[in-house]
Amino acid sequence: MPRQVYFLFIVVLAACLPAVCYVHLSFDPALQTYSIDTEGVHGIPLERWLWEECIYPVTGIYAGGEYFNWTDAAYHSLWYIPVMITPDGGLSIFGRSQDRQDITVVTAPRPERSILDVAPTACDALGLKGDFDGSSARRGNASQVVVIYVDALGWQRYEWARPVMRNLTALGPSAACDVYPSISNVNAAALITGVMPERSGVDRWERRTMMTDNIIDIALRNGVSAAWIDGPRPPVSPDRGIISVNDSDGDGVTDDEIMDRAIAEYEDSTRLLYVHLYDTDRALHESGPYSQRSLDAMARADAMIGLMVSRLGPGTLLIITADHGGHEIEGGKGDHGTLLPQDMVIPLVLMGC
């Protein structure tokens, strides 16, 4: 085998393998604002510490001679996985104290692209300027930019639902990473600010007010028409540009009304559109990420994508992504918010028409 081919093979193989990180835990005072009480223990969630150390997506940890599978831990948890760094620098796992401060973390491969790249890519295409943590993933101007954000469409859910998501598959999505915690308000803010949650101010469930600029407001200040199309409860709050629609046909979902309004805005030459489809998230929470209800919701989202794609004209940049994925929890339901790859890895499409 030629040396160049052999080297390429090694690089590709290494990119697909899990990594093992040996870490020494410490109770970082700077993270005390994220302290919680759970399982009778006060401390900083281990996931928050790992996120700050850029150690993710997580598939498991070795601590005290035991291996803890992160998928199993998440299955038995709600909101937070109760693995905590205590004020003395120790570790508590589901309320059980561990003396050791050294652990081994097993991580899955992390995609190069990030949800933080969406806003700078859209800004670049429209000739706008912003201060971002992400970077533009595509050079070149566009007359219009359409961002379709499918709630809870993680990469693993997409792979599972691929047979019913032919429109999305035809666009050739690649994997990208969201931000932690992998919940809607935090990642929706990341989608339009292009900055890390700690900088945007939307870094946990309770916080929804963005402390930094966002692309909707940037566009409108510069005379570029822009709108975020959503249902009655959008996960973000720019100063202007939110268009909320209701379930006018009484079918229990608003994704069809959202897409109809988005297409009308597009055909009215609105230059920047964010379109939020969220029945896929409802299905995940109600019946689990891999249920028939979830499959049906993802098929409908794919049909909405196909409808928009069929209307796009030359010069349009289409971006499709998600805010997070999801994992199974007890009771046949689903959740998200962890550093699991099921929650952190999402599809990303960048297509110029």
Name the domain boundary from 107, 141, 169. 107
- Model confidence at 324: pLDDT above 80: yes
Examine the fold and report which residue of 84, 107, 130 is the final residue of a domain before the chain moves on.
107
Report yes or no on 3 lying in a domain. no
Is residue 101 located within the same domain as residue 120?
no
Which of 107, 138, 171 is the last residue before a domain boundary? 107
Note the pLDDT tens digit of each residue in 174-202: 999 999 999 999 999 999 999 999 999 99
68-84 tens-digit pLDDT: 999 999 999 988 899 99
* Cross-strand partners of 316: 144
What is the model's pLDDT at position 14?
Answer: 42
Note whether 262 and 327 are same-domain residues: yes
Find the domain containing 323 and state its range. Answer: 115-352
| pLDDT tier, 39 (very low <50, low <70, confident <90, very high otherwise) | confident
* 1 pLDDT more than 50: no
Measured from the Cβ of residue 316, the count of other Cβ atoms closer than 10 Å reads 21
Contact 116, 132 (CB under 8 A): yes
The reply to whether 274 falls in a domain is: yes
Range scoring the smallest mean pLDDT among 39-43, 154-158, 244-248: 39-43
Closest CA to 180 of 57, 42, 93: 57
Copy the structure tokens of residue 278.
Answer: 């969220």
pLDDT of residue 100: 64
* DSSP secondary structure string for all residues of 95-164: TEEE---EEEEEEPPPPS-BGGGHHHHHHHHTT-----SS--SS-S--SEEEEEEETT--HHHHHHHGGG
Instruction: Tally the C-alpha atoms within 13 A of residue 116's C-alpha that lie toward its C-beta.
Output: 19
For residue range 144-163, list pLDDT tens digits in order.
Answer: 999 999 999 999 999 999 99
Is 2 among the domain residues? no
Task: Count structural domains, the chain.
Answer: 2
Q: What is the mean pLDDT of residues 207-228?
A: 96
Task: Tell me the C-alpha distance between 290 and 62, whole Å.
Answer: 28
The whole-number average pLDDT for the span 58-76 is 95
**Upper half-sphere CA count for residue 212 (Cβ side, 13 Å):** 22
